[in-house]
Chains A and B, each alone.
Chain A
């Protein structure tokens, strides 16, 4: 009888040990006196951020519960008044994230995946090299406009179809070369493309929001593209080259697999009225973003597109309601709120001061080193907790550090956003990586195999662009 009561308690403790660790860390740190040059609220905000990182990495509780955890402790710690804290949960960036997620549901409802598959196999032919190139290009281009989780989900069946066909040809053997090649091509294509436009991912909208809150600067959609898109395009051949160096497919030609895929696609038909309408509505939103985002923000065009989709019956509310991951919205809102608290409580400034002092002591007090440190730290955090939360949590600190070193906030912001995108090393670094990994055809080591090389190259490319192309931009 005693063990019947005790065992579930022990199991809960065992299962939720990281939640307990996070709470203990939070409790102990909040009881430790704050450093003399930092407010109590600032110290507690830093403690809360550490606890949140532990929770996101170890996943003892569902993601939305972490969002609630942030809200609860911000109020309990007196980081601000309840109304002040609640107001930091909502901004144009959050509205934009909600709108983008809804818009992704609209696009998915149009069954784009089969058309996409058809386009890929028509354009690329049957050689694995060209197919890989096609996967990276299509994933990058699409992920620059719509959320990468949508792109990865609609490209996954195309890749799996090809992989299964080849496995059949191999007599049922598991493909250890083609599978990682194609699946990681999708994940990395999304990673490099996602930075391209503000609608490519939450991290971009969050950075724009941070600029707005911290420097009262509203970056337009077009301006972002001007800065970020070339960096993504530059990555495409490099990603393809590294993937080819890392994975060796069992067959150089997928002629039979492609033939089977073409057969599957034969019933796709012509574009219908609804599909034209969906493309038109997305195009309209794109124009609004390009020409009006500096005045009406990023959220409103997304909502206009969703409103029109609902009004014209392209999608019903039930599908939007079930298709949007409201938990993710909560997480972004809460991490943005925590990022704001870094500024308002002085925690970000204090941390920036510590970094500055350390770099000075090491004789590394120059802009290049600071940007390199920001990029590296962002990459590490993004690989641990995903790129969106990484920018939300670390973005404001990175901007404050850069500001103290005399680096303009736009450069620092883009370096941070870009570095967060290039979280190639882990499964949880990005939604696209998680989705392709969930197919069961990858090992975690596959990400390291290609990702380590690509991380180095991406860092080099960020600095190449920063010291060449970005210098000539207005």
Chain B
């Protein structure tokens, strides 16, 4: 399994890294940390390239490298990069053009490989390319500022997502939002694994509206059975009301939300959005969307 952690210039990005590492450790997954330098504009890109060459002649680092250094320091402080002879165990130093990015590669202790990667360009475009060129299973990203970018990310980047929001609650549990989809089943498995690894409870939320059927009861029952079997503390919460509003109200900042990706057609998602997109856009807590 491979986890992609997208970091930014925000000082809160450390929390994204910590959350990403916890999830990667839960699955024993490889970690890639990606920083996208969005300062590059297409206009005058030739001149920018020329100025970058000048900087490298002066042995001055590429502007994004200090973010990679920050990520390395955080990962080292979490003790997940292997040390050898009191040095971080590095497979190779910063190199350009490794699957379209600059990359430093470390060996990890609990996670096998740790790659720090740097790309330039538009945020969503670069994350999408990163995922196309490297088969990641989960993308972990800090709160995305723009509403449009959230939609693009969830719809066009083909991985599961953990959107880390910077809320103040220290301890939180997971809230699994049950629905009828196949992806909800995968979300249940994913959430259960995370809950087990992080030793937190995972409550199951069923929102009742006119569409509620026997099948959705079956979904809740299945969740109940699986969590009981896994020894994960949980409650079944049954709430009435609008789906998005209810999930946001119940989750508040007490829970991280776990849900399956929408099964709507891509065209409808593009035009109207979807429940996960709306949740990610409005939630102040972490949201896990599993494909």
Which A residues have a C-beta under 8 Å from some C-beta of B?
Answer: 2-3, 6-7, 10-11, 13-15, 56, 59, 62-63, 108, 113, 149, 152-154, 156-157, 160-161, 164, 264, 323, 325, 327-328, 386, 427-428, 431, 434-435, 437-441
Contact = CB atoms under 8 A, between A and B. Distances in A.
Nearest to A386: B43
Contacts of A441: 63
Given A156-B51, A431-B47, A440-B39, A6 B266 contact: yes
22 contacts: A6-B265, A14-B152, A56-B43, A59-B41, A62-B42, A63-B43, A113-B57, A153-B50, A153-B51, A153-B54, A154-B54, A156-B51, A156-B55, A157-B58, A431-B44, A434-B43, A434-B44, A435-B48, A437-B41, A438-B40, A440-B39, A441-B63
Given A428-B43, A437-B39, A440-B39, A10 B270 contact: yes
Contact of B55 (A3, A56, A157, A328): A157
Contact of B266 (A10, A153, A154): A10
Nearest to A174: B66
Given A113-B57, A438-B51, 10 more contacts: A10-B266, A10-B267, A149-B50, A152-B47, A156-B55, A160-B55, A325-B44, A325-B46, A386-B44, A440-B63
Contacts of B48: 434-435, 438
Interface string B259-272: 00000011100100
A192 B280 CA distance: 46
Contacts of B54: 113, 153-154, 156-157
A128 to B, nearest CB: 20
Of all A-B residue pairs in the complex, the 9 with the closest CB atoms, nearest first, are: A440-B63, A325-B46, A153-B51, A157-B58, A149-B47, A434-B44, A438-B48, A59-B42, A431-B44
Nearest to B61: A164
B125 interface: yes
Contact of B57 (A2, A13, A157, A437): A157
Interface of B: 37, 39-44, 46-48, 50-52, 54-55, 57-58, 60, 63-64, 125, 128, 152, 155-156, 265-267, 270
A11 B128 contact: yes
Contact of B51 (A11, A152, A164): A152
Contact of B60 (A10, A161, A438): A161
Contacts of A14: 152, 156, 270
Contacts of B52: 438
Given A152-B51, A325-B46, A7 B60 contact: no
A428 B40 CA distance: 11
A6 B267 contact: yes
Contacts, number: 99
Contacts of B63: 438-441
Contacts of B60: 157, 160-161, 164
Nearest to A427: B41
Contacts of A15: 125
Residue from B43, B128, B270 with most neighbouring chain A CB atoms (10 Å): B43
Contacts of A149: 44, 47, 50
Contact of B58 (A6, A161, A438, A439): A161
Contacts of A108: 50
Contacts of B37: 440
B46 A7 contact: no
A369 to B, nearest CB: 32
A3 B266 contact: yes
Nearest to B47: A149
Given A154-B54, A323-B50, A440-B64, A435 B44 contact: yes
Nearest to A154: B54
A275 to B, nearest CB: 17
Contacts of B51: 152-153, 156, 435, 438-439
A323 B125 CA distance: 27
Nearest to A158: B58
Contacts of A62: 42
Nearest to A156: B51
Nearest to A385: B43
A440 B36 CA distance: 11
A70 B78 CA distance: 55
A456 B75 CA distance: 48
A149 B266 CA distance: 43
A147 to B, nearest CB: 9
A435 B43 contact: no
Contacts of A63: 42-43
Contacts of B267: 6, 10
Contacts of A428: 41, 43-44
A161 B57 CA distance: 12
